[in-house]
């Protein structure tokens, strides 16, 4: 992860990713119980070569696939071959990194306009009028 790729801010180095072949879940016929075509991908975020800001945002993202130790775990089993599942898992990992690569845009505090304040107060007074009409009828 030394230079940015043209389509993303940071590319994940495949040498930092652990991939293990496992058996896929679900229905699949005779082959599913014999062939380990699903991929279990593990990416250690603190030990990676990502910049510190990206690591911090990734760990703070609250993704349930990130363990307490900071390891991102993905499982890919959509395709029939290991190679296709490995490529799909790497693409998903890259998408996750790309989502946090750019810092969030800072929020600038704004004040409500005079017209919006008047609309809010008008709505409150109308609602109060409706509620007051629900009471007992007075002669």
H/E segment holding residue 22: strand 17-22
Q: What gap in Å lies between CA 27 and CA 98, rounded to an integer?
A: 33
Count, residues in the chain = 139
The answer to whether residue 21 is domain-embedded is: yes
Phi, psi of 12 (to 5 degrees): -80, 130
| pLDDT (0 to 100) of residue 88 | 93
The answer to whether residue 96 is domain-embedded is: yes
| pLDDT (0 to 100) of residue 1 | 41
Residue in the block written with tokens 């959509």: 78
Question: Which structural domain, as residue segments, surrounds residue 93?
Answer: 14-101
Top pLDDT among 117 and 78 is at 117
The answer to whether residue 111 is domain-embedded is: no
Please state the domain count of the chain. Answer: 1
For the stretch 61-108, pLDDT in tens is 888 888 898 899 999 988 888 899 999 999 999 999 998 888 889 999
The answer to whether residue 116 is domain-embedded is: no
The answer to whether residue 112 is domain-embedded is: no
For the stretch 27-56, pLDDT in tens is 666 666 667 788 889 999 888 888 888 889
| pLDDT (0 to 100) of residue 33 | 64
In this structure, the dihedral spanned by the alpha carbons of residues 49, 53, 54 and 60, taken in order and rounded to 10 degrees, is 120
The answer to whether residue 67 is domain-embedded is: yes
| pLDDT (0 to 100) of residue 12 | 82
CATH number reported for the structural domain that contains residue 67 in this entry: 3.30.160.20
Task: Assess whether pLDDT exceeds 70 at residue 8.
Answer: no
| pLDDT (0 to 100) of residue 30 | 65
The answer to whether residue 124 is domain-embedded is: no
Task: Assess whether pLDDT exceeds 50 at residue 120.
Answer: yes
pTM greater than 0.75 (yes/no): no
SS (H, E, C) the chain: CCCCCCCCCCCCCHHHEEEEEECCCCCCCCCCCCCCCEEEEEEECCCCCCCHHHHHHHHCCCCCCECCCCEEEEEECCCCCHHHHHHHHHHHHHHHHHHHHCCCCCCCCCCCCHHHHHHHHHHHHHHHHHHHCCCCCCC
The answer to whether residue 107 is domain-embedded is: no
């Amino acid at each position: 992860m030394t230079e940015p790729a043209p389509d993303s801010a940071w590319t994940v180095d495949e040498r930092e990713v652990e991939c293990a072949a496992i058996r896929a879940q679900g229905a699949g016929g005779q082959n599913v119980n014999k062939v380990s075509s699903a991929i279990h991908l593990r990416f250690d975020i603190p030990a990676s070569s990502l910049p510190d800001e990206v690591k911090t945002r990734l760990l703070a993202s609250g993704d349930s696939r990130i363990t307490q130790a900071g390891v991102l775990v993905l499982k890919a089993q959509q395709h029939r071959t290991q190679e296709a599942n490995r490529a799909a898992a790497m693409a998903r990992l890259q998408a996750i990194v790309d989502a946090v690569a750019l810092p969030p845009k800072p929020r600038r505090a704004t004040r409500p306009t005079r017209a919006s304040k008047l609309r809010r107060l008008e709505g409150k007074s109308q609602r109060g009028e409706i509620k007051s009409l629900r009471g007992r009828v007075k002669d």
